[in-house]
Structure 1
Amino acid sequence: MAGSTAGDGREGERTAFATQLRAAIAGSGLSLDRIQARLRARGVVVSVTALSYWQSGKRQPERQSSLSAVRTLEEILGVPAGSLLGLLPPPRPRGGAGRRHGGGETLAFPREVLQPLLDKVGAPHALDRAHPLKLVGLHDLCEIAADGGQRAVTARAVLQSAADGQDRWLLVYTQDDPAAGPPQLHAVRNCRVGRCEVDEAHGLIVAELVFDQPIDRGETHLIEYTLTNSGPPYPECRNTHYREFRRQVREYLLEVRFDPGSAPERCWQYSRNGTTGTVSRRRLRLDGEGGVHAVALDFGPGVFGIDWD
């Protein structure tokens, strides 16, 4: 989870974005009223007040609709694609429920919400002690339905033990849309679902994934599980999927697969270093199957994800 360092970085990023935006607006020779009119002509609604706040640094774009507006702004102002977006941090969770997390490596919800669930599954000290299982590699496959909601997430994790007799992994997952109800958790390979607790008000799940057999120091174990939502309509996912890592992971592969015929126009990879607050962002190309992927090597702590129009 990103701490105070990342928070300080967010203020710096906002200043850089505001400075660059002001320069781009000045260079274009367009007034805010004319910029707003050109945005509206392209189907993008942004108030003059919002534009003024963005360039002054009083506020910054965070919602997906605002990020899409910035992409259109780059075209209108004649600046390189990504030159403004690259100065913005990844989207942050709103309210008590974060967007998409799991694997015991995350904490993006209030402790007072999470702790009771940890107590019930027999892991009361999970937030304060380093786990003897290290996440070596992780592959997330996020499936997006035709209505833009999330159909399912399948995760394949490789874990290495730093102590003998390790036999379970703690999964923490939060749903974007609590009103849709919690997803169904299924163990796919080399594990089974043990104790599982759900906080429906916050869309939060804490569950044990119990290994087929314990592993000792230095040994590795591969598990696979899936979280499936009911629909249509499928739960809102805010056009993004990411993981927030508290410790370094050697390899993280994130794949987003879209329903045939409903692939987005543009996708972006983003990351935020949890130690330095450094933000990076780059454009991704859809593959021939209507999907997109991004890879992080020796990454963490921090946030790594994909978002799309």
Structure 2
Amino acid sequence: MTEELAPARPFAEALRAAIHAGGVTLDRLAERLRERGTPVSLATLSYWQSGRSQPERPQSLAALANVEHLLGLPAGELGRLLESPKPRGRTVHRLPEPIDSAAPWSDPEGFDRMVVGVDISQDNQLTRLSVHDLIVVGADRAKHVQRTRQVLRAEQDGVDRLVIVAWGESPDEPVPEVVPVRNCAIGRVSRDERTGQVATELLFGHTLAKRETVLIEHEIRCPEPLSQAYEHERVSRLPVREYLIEVRFDPAAPPAHVVRFSDVDGKERVKALTLDSAHTAHALAMDLEPGRYGIRWSWR
């Protein structure tokens, strides 16, 4: 099975047409929104115009009002085309819908094209109880270890796999490889050389029963020569109960500055971090919403 592409939506079509008529790029639109105090990430703008998501939160609706003004549209022209917001909160007793996962430089169409070759239909049947990313950066300032441990719980009988999407440090690099480490094996693999992404099925040791948990580990390995790294980012397509990221630096090449960041619905938050005695920066977060989370750094 594969995920069907989202049908065309009036809001997305109107936004796409307005951007085209206005002769502006998404980069320029994102820049103008930042200048007006209503920042929206490039990825979120791309999702809006493709119909994969829509503005719903107050800060996103404020940004949409500026989008209308910047594109020369009457106030409310795009807002009236929005669909009813999806239910949120503890009163919603249904499996969550995943957001798209894509490399920072990719587009939603690239993601759709890539996941046609794998089965992502079970993704929203797994609750992410705990996710731990360990990144080891060498003296050459490149990532030498990218290991992830996850504790997952099946919310239906018959769940037997998880799809991992990975990418390198830039779209010019060869596609990385996802390697099973513990309690999983490789299933189907779909690569997109144009975007530098790979989607890999991790097959569990057995089919899970409802409410059964599984602990799996995998690594992401990039072909040499390895590029200098400046961040590690996780795109959480679904909620995560607990997320821990730690980045361990070589004592011979410490970073100048380190921050944690999150980007949910186009609003980025940043906080400075300090290294511990093991030259490691870490960030712990609870009850994550779908979005982007990670640690970035600059070099001396």
Q: Does 1:280 align with 2:286?
A: no
Structure 1 residue corresponding to 2:113, chosen from 113, 116, 119: 116
Find the residue that maps to 2:211 and give its secondary structure.
coil
Could you tell me how far 1:254 is from its partner in structure 2? 0.7
Q: Does 1:136 align with 2:109?
A: no
Aligned counterparts of 2:133 and 2:37: Cα–Cα separation in 1: 32
Aligned counterparts of 2:37 and 2:198: Cα–Cα separation in 1: 37
Could you tell me how far 1:167 is from its partner in structure 2? 0.6
1:19-58 paired onto structure 2 within 5 Å = none
2:166 maps to a residue whose letter is: Y
Which residue number in structure 1 is paired with residue 147 of structure 2? 154
**Do the aligned partners of 1:138 and 1:253 also contact (CA within 8 Å) in 2?**
yes
Find the residue that maps to 2:194 and give its secondary structure.
coil
Q: Percent identity?
A: 31
CA displacement 1:76-134 (0-9 Å, x = unmatched): xxxxxxxxxxxxxxxxxxxxxxxxxxxx86523333322333222244xx5xx862112
Find the residue that maps to 2:252 and give its secondary structure.
coil
Which residue number in structure 2 is paired with residue 298 of structure 1? 287
**Do the aligned partners of 1:177 and 1:236 also contact (CA within 8 Å) in 2?**
no
TM-score normalised to the size of structure 2? 0.63
Could you tell me how far 1:11 is from its partner in structure 2? 6.3
Which residue number in structure 1 is paired with residue 258 of structure 2? 267
Q: Structure 2 vs 1, CA of residues 289 and 105 (structure 1 numbering), >3 Å: closer, same or farther?
A: farther
Which residue number in structure 2 is paired with residue 107 of structure 1? 101
**Do the aligned partners of 2:166 and 2:176 also contact (CA within 8 Å) in 1?**
no
**Do the aligned partners of 2:140 and 2:228 also contact (CA within 8 Å) in 1?**
no
Where structure 2 has 5 or more consecutive residues not aligned to the other structure, the ranges are: 1-11, 13-26, 42-97
TM-score normalised to the size of structure 1? 0.61
Which residue number in structure 1 is paired with residue 226 of structure 2? 234
**Do the aligned partners of 1:171 and 1:206 also contact (CA within 8 Å) in 2?**
yes
2:288 maps to a residue whose letter is: F
Aligned counterparts of 2:193 and 2:150: Cα–Cα separation in 1: 26
Aligned counterparts of 2:193 and 2:176: Cα–Cα separation in 1: 10
2:168 maps to a residue whose letter is: Q
Could you tell me how far 1:208 is from its partner in structure 2? 0.5
Structure 2 residue corresponding to 1:177, chosen from 162, 170, 173: 170
Could you tell me how far 1:16 is from its partner in structure 2? 4.5
**Do the aligned partners of 2:167 and 2:176 also contact (CA within 8 Å) in 1?**
no
2:255 maps to a residue whose letter is: P
Q: Which of the pair is proportionally richer in helix? A: 1
Aligned counterparts of 1:301 and 1:10: Cα–Cα separation in 2: 23
Structure of higher RCO (CA pairs closer than 8 Å, 6+ residues apart): 1
Aligned counterparts of 1:280 and 1:177: Cα–Cα separation in 2: 23
Aligned counterparts of 1:298 and 1:306: Cα–Cα separation in 2: 18
Aligned counterparts of 2:144 and 2:135: Cα–Cα separation in 1: 8
Find the residue that maps to 1:202 and give its secondary structure.
coil
Where structure 1 has 5 or more consecutive residues not aligned to the other structure, the ranges are: 18-56, 61-103
2:101 maps to a residue whose letter is: L
Q: Which moved more, 1:296-305 or 1:144-153?
A: 144-153
RMSD across aligned positions (CA) = 2.9
